[in-house]
Structure 1
Amino acid sequence: MEKTVYIRLRHRVFVQPNDKILVKDIAQIIAEESIYNQIKEIVLYQVKPEDRNIVIIDIMQIVEKIKELDPAIEVQLIGQSQTIIEVVFKKRKVSPVLFLLIWFLLFFGSMLTIMNFHEDVSMQDAHQRLYKIITGENVEKPLLFQIPYSLGLGLGMIIFFNHVFKKRLNEEPSPLEVEMFNYQQDLDRYVVMHENKERMSKKK
């Protein structure tokens, strides 16, 4: 009698060095309880030091292991056919000196960028003209415009990035998060293709 197992692979899974990767770690499984209990404990791979930080598990590896267990089982895949296994190594503590150096570089770099932008578009001249149009007076430093503008610039950046430190303003992702997500998707596709090419070249 044919038995059917439905498998849906997770996109990315994080493991520790030297971990054993089981089917239940990387996939959602729907099957009869007796079959499910057997399949979920199948060892697919043992993480090795030479794997570095990325391992790709293909659905064919899972099918092969399941067929070894019981040739009568039919595997139905739902979704993607590969899972990216990311090996997470123990993080080193960040040096306070390095942290401060990077913070200063980012702070002064962004400050100079904003200042140069305002100089290029003659923002001060624009404020002076607006002040003259509204009040009829010539003022070198129209603080009535400059102070609210500066505050609004900071507030606008907070709203744009949708974060106040670690707190999110709402559930909508910021443009930066969307771009990071798209970049991660492209990176994952590249990793899958690159790892598959390496695997094929090793078999030859």
Structure 2
Amino acid sequence: METSIFIRLTPRIHLDMNAKVKLKDIAQVIAPEQLLPSLLHMDIYQIKPEDQQIVIIEAMTIVKMILHQWPEVDIQFVGPSETIIDTAPPVKKSVFPLFLFVWCLLFTGAALTIMNFHEDVSMQAVHVKLYEIITGKKKEHPLILQIPYSIGLGVGMILFFNHLFKKKFNEEPSPLEVEIFKYQQDLNQYVVLNEYKESRKNSGYRS
């Protein structure tokens, strides 16, 4: 009976420069118990300084290496067909003054954006008109409408982004998290295609 091996590559991981890449570092593996330890500790690649920051391990490379040792096995891949290894040193945590500066910058920019939007749509005039319709009196600064509206605007943004500092209200991803996820997928795809292009160029390939 043919032995089956199921492999799911991790889309992107971080390893140190000069690290020895083993299959367990880049993939989840399901295999018979007698093969699993050898598979997990199989050496796949040795990261070298000339690899620079990005290394791509393809599924076909892993297939060749496994079949070289166990030619009778049936290998099936689930999920992505390559793993991106990032060897860049981890970014140091930002210091508090830098965090405070960025926070103030973003807060000021967001506040100006909201104020300019309200000025463009004449929100002040809308509140005055609404107050006049409801009470029959005209008031230049209807705070009874403006204060709840301002509070509601802030609460609405918190609920929309599903975050208050580090607290998350539910398991549903926020629109920002979805956009970051889509951006990371596009970035991974670009890195893979660009590395393929560079490798073909360096090998002198001609279509």
TM-score (norm 2): 0.89
Which has the higher mean CA deviation after the structures are superposed, 140-149 or 4-13? 4-13
Q: Which amino acid aligns with 1:24?
A: K
Matches for 1:1-204 after TM superposition, within 5 Å: 2-204=2-204
In structure 1, what is the Cα distance between the partners aligned to 2:170 and 2:3?
46
In structure 2, what is the Cα distance between the partners aligned to 1:90 and 1:185?
20
Kindly state the Cα deviation for residue 28 of structure 1 after the two structures are TM-superposed: 1.8
Q: Which amino acid aligns with 2:82?
A: Q
Kindly state the Cα deviation for residue 188 of structure 1 after the two structures are TM-superposed: 1.2
In structure 1, what is the Cα distance between the partners aligned to 2:38 and 2:97?
52
Count of paired positions: 204
CA RMSD of the aligned region, Å?
1.9
In structure 2, what is the Cα distance between the partners aligned to 1:51 and 1:99?
33
Kindly state the Cα deviation for residue 6 of structure 1 after the two structures are TM-superposed: 2.1
Classify the secondary structure of the residue corresponding to 1:33.
coil
In structure 2, what is the Cα distance between the partners aligned to 1:44 and 1:12?
15
Kindly state the Cα deviation for residue 96 of structure 1 after the two structures are TM-superposed: 4.3
Which has the higher mean CA deviation after the structures are superposed, 123-132 or 14-23? 14-23
In structure 1, what is the Cα distance between the partners aligned to 2:170 and 2:15?
31
Superposed CA deviations along residues 67-102 of structure 1, whole A, max 9, x for unmatched, are 232333332222321112222514335354433332
Kindly state the Cα deviation for residue 30 of structure 1 after the two structures are TM-superposed: 2.1
TM-score (norm 1): 0.90
Which has the higher mean CA deviation after the structures are superposed, 174-183 or 108-117? 174-183
Question: Which ranges of 4 or more aligned residues in structure 1 deviate by more than 4 Å?
Answer: none
Gaps of 5+ in 2: none
In structure 2, what is the Cα distance between the partners aligned to 1:48 and 1:163?
41
Gaps of 5+ in 1: none
